[in-house]
Amino acid sequence: MASPPTVDSDIILPVKTFQGHRSWATSVAFSPNDEWVVRDSLLRIWILKDRSQIGGPLQGHSGSVRKMAVSKDGRYIEGGGEDNKVIAWDAST
């Protein structure tokens, strides 16, 4: 894992870019083992190593998802949406 940037660092360049969304990101969450990342809005999950998507978007919210979280053990993905719901999905399935 790279060292965090410091005040004396040069310009920080992107390491990975993920495509596939039609709107801007407001929240992302990384798995505890840093193997995958999930993004808000349509709840898409990517494998960090090769930037591939896992399945389709997670379902359940009737509006956009604005906040994301992953449980400490990586088993659950939680999303809070504009529909005033917080939904948890089992990430192991």
Tell me the per-residue pLDDT of 27-77, one tens digit each, with 9 for 90 and over: 889 999 999 998 877 688 888 888 888 887 888 888 888 899 999 999 999
Q: What residues does 78 pair with on adjacent strands?
A: 69, 88
- 53 close to 30: Cβ distance less than 8 angstroms: no
pLDDT of residue 73: 94
Q: What is the CA radius of gyration of the chain?
A: 14
State the first-to-last Cα distance of the chain, in angstroms, to the nearest integer: 27
Distance CA 20, CA 22 (A): 7
